[in-house]
């Protein structure tokens, strides 16, 4: 069984997208391939078919490999709840909450579990494409590392080091990273890739030659900067604030925003612009306002209250379309309570009062895949929430959940006001279904006297973009050298 690990000179240098590309390339070449990231830190997560929680980056990588996402691809997920504390998800389930110091002290407990995961994967696939996190040169974390060189050692994997030239200083970043590695770690690094290049490659070539002389590691290629309709890495997300198309969709960017991949499908619409707002001054007059999920709903709502956005949202809701997803849905209700201090030390706060629901945050997390219906459409998505929302006398549900983790049910989800312009739901990925996306957008098109459009399947769009990604990376790195590193032939 072959394996390769992609590490980077820092966060957001493009490790995730290179892993995604390699998964698609190896699959195209006839190999069974799986992604693997031992530990991910992200507020973008996903629920597998068996109700387990994992990071979204590995979900895209699984799709690139032609696989259904499984939690063994990302066994540890850290979801920050504050600057110093995170919820720890292990094998898809909540393990507990911990500060950075507390988690650092418990990491070695997970080494044996990670080894077992990797041995299982070795028995199932021809090749595993592994991803590191941050930088292997974080020497203060070396003694308990389980995600960079520590994981490469567990798996006995060769390493490719990626640097981001768009940030500037890429040669220093690559050389400096190699300088800080131990001798046994340096031996694992078999090549480098420079990512996000803009310009004339001929001007870069002398630097490439000098870098090889300095670090004694061959360069495998230079990947150009590109813009594809694929999910961003968490740290690389550009929260656009400009209107660039006919339909203006504003998303409230709260401090603990989560699952902002919910809006990627909307970006695929040719007449839609997505922008993020953080203040009442940026609000404008959007065609649709979305309140996304949050990992700390009460504190984020208090922040919106303090900066004046809450009042602006209430005013807008008199005529505009407001959609709340998960934490955003909870904010639209009458009250939020956190009696067990699940998310913060604030026990209770008033909601916006736009939907007649009351929410209590509970100890147990709901993690389910669902199919839901209303008179307009059928949607497929997933729930990730600690809250339980109860309906008041004026509330009516927006969806009926008809299937939950493969079991037929009949349950209410979400709420809608009497004017049908304020909507809330717990279902993530609701815009991925083209029928719901088309229904909402055509309401706006009617208002703006625009032609109705048929939305396209987001799955098909993503598949086409993954093939484009593979073509870009394949044509700009030395695939023969890469296959030599993993000790496989180029085609099956």
Residues identified as active-site: 326, 428
Asked whether the beta carbons of 133 and 76 are under 8 A apart, the reply is no
Q: For residue 207, give the 3-state DSSP assignment.
A: helix
DSSP class of residue 332? T
Residues 6+ apart with CB under 8 A from 388: 359, 360, 362
Q: For residue 140, give the 3-state DSSP assignment.
A: helix
What whole-number distance in Å separates Cα of residue 256 and Cα of residue 239? 14
For residue 265 the two structure tokens come to: 């499908």
Asked whether the beta carbons of 259 and 54 are under 8 A apart, the reply is no
Q: For residue 312, give the 3-state DSSP assignment.
A: helix
Name the phi and psi angles at 471, rounded to 5.
Answer: -60, -45
For residue 217 the two structure tokens come to: 């590691």
DSSP per-residue codes, 57-90 = HHHHHHHHTT----GGGS-EEEEESSSSEEEEEE
Q: How many helices (H) and strands (E) does the chain have?
A: 16, 26
Q: Quote the longest CA-to-CA distance of the chain.
A: 74
Length, in residues, of the chain: 492
How remote is the C-alpha of 451 from its chain's centroid? 32
Asked whether the beta carbons of 290 and 327 are under 8 A apart, the reply is no
């Amino acid at each position: 069984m072959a394996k390769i690990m992609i590490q980077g000179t820092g966060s957001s240098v493009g490790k995730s997208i290179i892993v995604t590309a390699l998964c698609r390339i190896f699959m195209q070449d006839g190999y069974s391939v799986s992604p693997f990231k031992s530990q991910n830190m992200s507020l973008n997560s996903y629920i597998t078919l068996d109700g387990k929680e994992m990071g979204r980056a590995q979900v895209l990588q699984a799709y690139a490999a032609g696989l259904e996402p499984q939690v063994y691809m990302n066994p540890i997920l850290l979801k920050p709840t504050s600057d110093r504390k995170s919820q720890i998800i292990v094998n898809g389930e909540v393990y507990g909450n911990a500060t950075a110091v507390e988690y650092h002290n418990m990491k070695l407990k997970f080494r044996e579990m990670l080894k077992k995961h990797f041995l299982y994967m070795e028995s199932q696939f021809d090749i595993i494409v592994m991803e590191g996190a941050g930088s292997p040169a974080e020497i203060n974390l070396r003694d308990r590392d389980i995600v960079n060189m520590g994981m490469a050692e567990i798996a006995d994997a060769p390493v490719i080091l990626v640097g981001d030239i768009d940030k500037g200083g890429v040669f220093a970043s690559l050389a400096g990273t190699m300088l800080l590695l131990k001798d046994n770690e340096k031996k694992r690094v078999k090549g480098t890739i420079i990512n996000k290049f803009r310009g004339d490659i001929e001007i870069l070539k002398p630097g490439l030659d000098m870098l090889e002389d300095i670090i004694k590691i061959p360069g495998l290629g230079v990947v150009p900067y590109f813009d594809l309709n694929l999910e961003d890495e968490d740290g690389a997300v550009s929260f656009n604030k400009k209107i660039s198309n006919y339909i203006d969709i504003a998303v409230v960017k709260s401090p603990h925003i989560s699952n902002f991949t919910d809006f990627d499908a909307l970006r695929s619409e040719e007449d839609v612009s997505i922008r993020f707002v953080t203040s009442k001054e940026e609000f404008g007059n959007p065609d649709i306002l979305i309140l996304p999920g949050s990992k700390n709903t009460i504190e984020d709502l208090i922040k919106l209250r303090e900066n004046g956005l809450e009042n602006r949202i209430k005013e807008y809701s008199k005529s505009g379309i407001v959609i709340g997803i998960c934490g955003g849905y909870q904010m639209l209700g009458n009250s939020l309570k956190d009696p067990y201090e699940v998310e913060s030390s604030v026990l209770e706060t008033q909601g916006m009062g736009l939907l007649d629901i009351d929410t209590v945050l509970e100890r147990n997390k709901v993690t389910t895949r669902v199919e839901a219906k209303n008179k307009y459409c059928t949607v497929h998505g997933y729930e990730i929430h600690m809250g339980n929302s109860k309906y008041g006398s004026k509330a009516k549900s927006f969806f009926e959940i008809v299937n939950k983790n493969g079991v037929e049910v009949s349950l209410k989800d979400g709420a809608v006001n009497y004017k049908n312009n304020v909507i809330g739901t717990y279902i993530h990925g609701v815009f991925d279904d083209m029928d719901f996306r088309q229904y909402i957008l055509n309401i706006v098109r009617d208002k703006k006297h625009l032609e109705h459009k048929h939305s396209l399947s987001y799955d098909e769009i993503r598949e086409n973009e993954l093939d484009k990604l593979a073509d870009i990376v394949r044509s700009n790195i030395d695939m023969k050298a890469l296959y030599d590193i993993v000790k496989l032939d180029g085609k099956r």
